[in-house]
Structure 1
Amino acid sequence: MDIVGISLKEQEAIFRVVAAILHLGNIDFAKGKEMDSSVPSDEKSKFHLKTRAELLMCDSVVLEDALCKRVMITPEEVIKRSLDPPSAAVSRDGLAKTIYSRLFDWLVDKINNSIGQDSKSKSLIGVLDIYGFESFEQNSFEQFCINYTNEKLQQHFNQHVFKMEQEEYKKEAIDWSFIEFVDNQDVLDLIEKKPDGIVALLDEACMFPKSTHETFLNKLYQTFKNHTRFVKPKLSPTDFAIAHYAGEVQYQSDHFLDKNKDYVVAEHQDLLSASKCSFVAGLFPQIPEESTKSSKFSSIGSRFKLQLQQLMETLNATEPHYIRCVKPNNLLKPAIFENANIIQHDMGVLEAIRISCAGYPTRRPFFEFINRFGLLAPDVLVGNYDEKVACKKILERKGLKGFQVGKTKVFLRAGQVAELDARRTEVLRNAAKSIQRCIRTHVARKQFVALREATIYVQSFCRGRLAGKVYEGLKRQTAAIKI
């Protein structure tokens, strides 16, 4: 917490909130003196209620009223209605979830700010790490949301690798026979389409007080009985299955409704916004009175769907690069490879390889191609030349086959750009050899001239000394004869 910039005062408040949530879970309710009313069941529950109020710095009497009573506002009057013990327990759990959620969101924002996120930045480099499709023995609402996310990301991968790849060929008028690939749009429609998608039907069931997971499941069976991606298990009357892109996953619907509900209760909001702890009050700022209802329904599924949509908008605004990880086995042990499992969960990798091998993985704009490979045929770049014709002549001169020249780009088969780079390297190497030969010649001649001048100087010196000795001998001989 110190590292991410959370002050000591904020740290103390965080631990207060966490402790308050734990104490809140220990409060039990029993029937009160009035009909259909509830009160803390024993002294232990009263202790936890009082401790929780002290931790959050709010009034314990107001806290008890917020848990055990509801205010209903009608045009004529304001009615305070008591809750029975089961309803009070639901209110208690709802309050705990709300506090935990607000604290979690605050921590996320704090961490994001501490690592230097700049909202005004025009450039973005992001890393999205996701495990993949989940299929366990028991799959509930959490796995449903995770697999929904994976379907969205899989479609993004499909669009980028498959659809956009083939649309590029069509736009550039490339002669190409389109390859069929598995599209998961029908799975996404099954999950998110309005008004008959699973998320929409789940929200609808949550808004009806008498709905149960059985009525929700029957609605799904009735709506999607002819859908190819929706499966009704024969031996599990409370389950349903979806044929996802990565395989079929069976979900247990028992807790879907409970996990999707997120009630913002006005009494809870008023209680915590009036807290004497500034941190707690900051988690629950005052909201405008837009509704006269005592509670406003908010769907976890719809909120998750909105956040996922915002994530996809961010991804679509960037240039993606993918790293595919293979899960070798389900035992989580090393050196074990389950072939069927790997192939089943390849997540479009095999199709991506198939399209890359059959298509043109390398495409270069004319100017970029000529700028790099123009030296392979410099004579075609003389004068006012046509870029498209020049690119074609360069490729033909080097004997390449199977390439295509589009409207604005050159499309090359796998391996052809490597071959061109090898030819380019050879031309550059020969040019380097010529330059090196001239440099070596210049250096060698310079050394030779210096050596020759030095040799002539030494030779002239030696000849002079020898001539001096001969002259001295002649003088001595002449003198001898004269004597």
Structure 2
Amino acid sequence: MGTPANIIVGSHVWVEDPTLAWIDGEVLSIKNNEVHVQTSNGKKVTTDRSKVFPKDMEAPPGGVDDMTRLSYLHEPGVLQNLATRYELNEIYTYTGSILIAVNPFQRLPHLYDTHMMEQYKGADFGELSPHVFAIADVAYREMINEGKNNSILVSGESGAGKTETTKMLMRYLAHLGGRSGVEGRTVEQQVLESNPVLEAFGNAKTVRNNNSSRFGKFVEIQFDKTGRISGAAIRTYLLERSRVCQINTPERNYHCFYFLCAAPHEDTQRYKLADARSFHYLNQSSCIEVEGINDAEEYLATRRAMDIVGINEEEQEAIFRVVAAVLHIGNINFAKGKEVDSSVIQDDNSRFHLNTASELLECDCNNLEKALITREIVTPEEIITRTLDPESALASRDALAKTIYSRLFDWIVEKINVSIGQDPNSKQLIGVLDIYGFESFKINSFEQLCINYTNEKLQQHFNQHVFKMEQEEYTREEINWSYIEFVDNQDVLDLIEKKGGLIALLDEACMFPRSTHETFAQKLYTTFKNNKRFVKPKLSRTDFTVVHYAGDVTYQADHFLDKNKDYVVAEHQDLLNASSCPFVASLFPTLPEESSKSSKFSSIGSRFKAATSVSHGDLELY
């Protein structure tokens, strides 16, 4: 690291720049802690000595392919090296055993063809140019030669290219551990073809990314004694359920909705579908089509991929019936009823969508209407039926759509796992974790907090392995080295996950009937008023800001309580459990009597916290 002690008059340095992040220049003078710099774009800058970093004037013109070879391992030095290589179309750079990828935003097929795979097969790490295949190869060789289970972690900001990188890793592992000339569907084929299926139902266009994963995924690939793939398991985390009902321009809902609306005429006719623009869950955003995505072709490709992963024709038909039903549910609107705080179906158009949804779900139309606009309250003496006002009925409608879709997604994941099959005798595995990147949008809700919390956990893991453990080893071995400063984010994790932290206070608020998002926010303001990682925005009564390692994010607490409750409305459960379609009924199995009566609270936040703490066995990290 460059430290202020290295800086003298005449030094070539990096200073912060509001447009470029960093700009190089020469030190003109130093007075106390003030450094005056003439920058390369002709400006004179005065800044604090601690914010000036030395520039390596002997760095190779094409950069270095391993950043541990940089003279100064600081932010401007790292960014300059990555930018230099990117200009030369070198998108990969090592930092020791870690691979940094910079998204090229274009297809580079020559980088990932079979010829390139063969080149990296068995090559010593660092012998060839940095590449994602080299990381996968090291993980595979260590597993085979040393019996080590390995895990490859793919992390980065939203839109960085994690999903594509994960697919390349899996393709390379399938190349190494696949079986050539085997009849029928191989495990590796099914693992690879699970990607387009999961993307169709779990990915969407966001502000930064046309194919953004709206769920986390851990793929565990199992190998037999000979190094051949013998099984696999996919675990998914926190599907963004709110996207089903609410999207903003220029984003889209989940791909499958648009694929189905663009399907062949006989399919759309069967599901009574029209243009995507006619559905409320899709037309809230002006973005219906995405450049580079042909929805009609993708529909057929998804059906083919479903064939390969073992989802049969009958199951596919049921899946798309459910997808269509969700769209029709979103077009059911309500008007005020004759009684106070009651609702009725608004008009003939809403009635059409209600009837169609009930046909597709094979449930009783009157019962569907009743489940949307009434609630039953069970008391020791009697069962009281309470009516919902139009606003509450809309919330009931959206809750039903989100529940149906999330249950459908879980079913697809489970079906893929059953079809692929797991090898109970496997002693060797490689895990690939594709987790959503850090997110900071105009509006940040509960999902963004969970996503950014996950990235804080990953950053802590990274710090632990790259900085803390390495430097402790240097100290033990008495190696002469300069201590590398790094930001420890443990205090952010404490704010979110410890006893009395954000998640605990949210769970507490969810358990009190009178809690609102205002009372929850006020509790946060009081509890964390002296916490340097927590900020109360001046002009808001419900927003709060967390100072994350990657930057400040302001969250809107408005829907935190609803989104944190892992709760299925009893009327919705009973309605769909009674469906005459076995597939729909299987999504809502009869609850054990004790759990259906139990009032024990379960929260998404707590389950997500537990998931981020789960160890996936004795895994070496890459």
What's the offset of the Cα at 1:287?
Answer: 0.9
- Partners of 1:103 and 1:278 in 2: CA distance: 13
Alpha-carbon distance in structure 2 between the residues aligned to 1:131 and 1:138: 17
Q: Secondary structure at the match of 2:344?
A: strand
Tell me the equivalent position of 2:522.
218
Instruction: Name which one, 1 or 2, has greater alpha-carbon Rg.
Output: 1
**Alpha-carbon distance in 2 for matches of 1:89, 1:239:** 25
- If each structure's strand is expressed as a fraction of its own residues, which one has the higher value? 2
What is the correspondence of 1:88-127 to structure 2 with a 5 Å cutoff?
88-118=393-423, 121-127=426-432
Whether the 8 Å contact between 1:264 and 1:297 is mirrored in structure 2 is: no
CA distance 1:237–1:266, change in 2 (3 Å): closer
SS of corresponding position for 1:80: strand
Displacement after TM superposition at 1:262 (Å) = 3.7
- Of residues 55, 63, 70 in structure 1, which corresponds to 2:375? 70
Counterpart check, 1:146 vs 2:447: no
Q: Quick one: which amino acid aligns to residue 215 of structure 1?
A: T
2:265 is aligned to none
How many pairs does the alignment contain? 316
Q: CA RMSD in A?
A: 2.7
1:244 aligned to which of 540, 548, 551 = 548
- Give the match's secondary structure for 1:254: helix
Query: In structure 2, how many angstroms separate the alpha carbons of the residues matched to 1:18 and 1:199?
Result: 32
Identity of aligned residues (%): 73
Q: For the residues of structure 1 that align with 2:377 and 2:599, how far apart are their CA atoms?
A: 9
What is the aligned partner in structure 2 of residue 256 from structure 1? 560
Counterpart check, 1:156 vs 2:156? no
Deviations 1:362-389 (A, max 9, x none): xxxxxxxxxxxxxxxxxxxxxxxxxxxx
Q: Following the alignment from structure 1 to structure 2, what is the Cα–Cα distance between the partners of residues 275 and 120? A: 39
Per-residue CA distance 1:158-183 (angstroms, 9 max, x = gap): 2222333355567x685889956432
- CA positional deviation for 1:131: 5.6
1:32 aligned to 322, 333, 337, which one? 337
Secondary structure at 1:249's aligned position in 2?
Answer: strand
**1:81-100 deviation per Cα after TM superposition (whole angstroms, max 9, x unaligned):** 22232222222111111101
Mark the CA change 1:41 to 1:91 in structure 2 (over 3 Å): closer, same or farther.
same
1:273 matched to 2:577? The reply is yes
Give the match's secondary structure for 1:6. coil
Q: Secondary structure at the match of 2:454?
A: helix
Q: Secondary structure at the match of 2:544?
A: strand
Question: Is structure 2 residue 620 aligned with structure 1 residue 319?
Answer: yes
Amino acid at match of 1:75: P
How much has 1:23 moved relative to structure 2?
1.1
Once residues 45 and 17 of structure 1 are traced to their aligned partners in structure 2, the CA distance between those partners, rounded to angstroms, is: 18
1:318: how far off? 0.2
Provide TM-score, normalisation by structure 1.
Answer: 0.60
Give the 3-state SS of the residue equivalent to 1:62 in structure 2. helix
C-alpha change, 1:88 and 1:262, in structure 2 (3 Å) is farther
8 Å CA contact retained: 1:29, 1:88: yes
CA contact (8 A) 1:158 1:183 kept: yes
Task: Tell whether the 8 Å contact from 2:522 to 2:542 is kept in structure 1 after alignment.
Answer: no
Alignment-mate amino acid for residue 317 of structure 1: D
| Equivalent residue number for residue 53 of structure 1 | 358
Q: Which runs of 5+ in 1 are unaligned?
A: 322-483
**Partner residue of 2:171?**
none
TM-score, with normalisation over the residues of structure 2?
A: 0.47
Q: Distance in 2 between matches of 1:228 and 1:297?
A: 31
Query: Equivalent residue for 1:205?
Result: 509
Structure 1 window deviating more from structure 2 (285-294 vs 216-225): it is 285-294
Distance 2:318 2:479 in 1: 66
Change (3 A) 1:227 1:127: same
Residues 351-430 of structure 1 mapped to structure 2, 5 A cutoff: none
2:377 equivalent to 1:81 = no
Partner SS for 2:621: coil
Residue in 2 aligned with 1:183? 488
Of residues 283, 302, 315 in structure 2, which corresponds to 1:10?
Answer: 315
CA contact (8 A) 1:213 1:256 kept: yes
More helix by share: 1
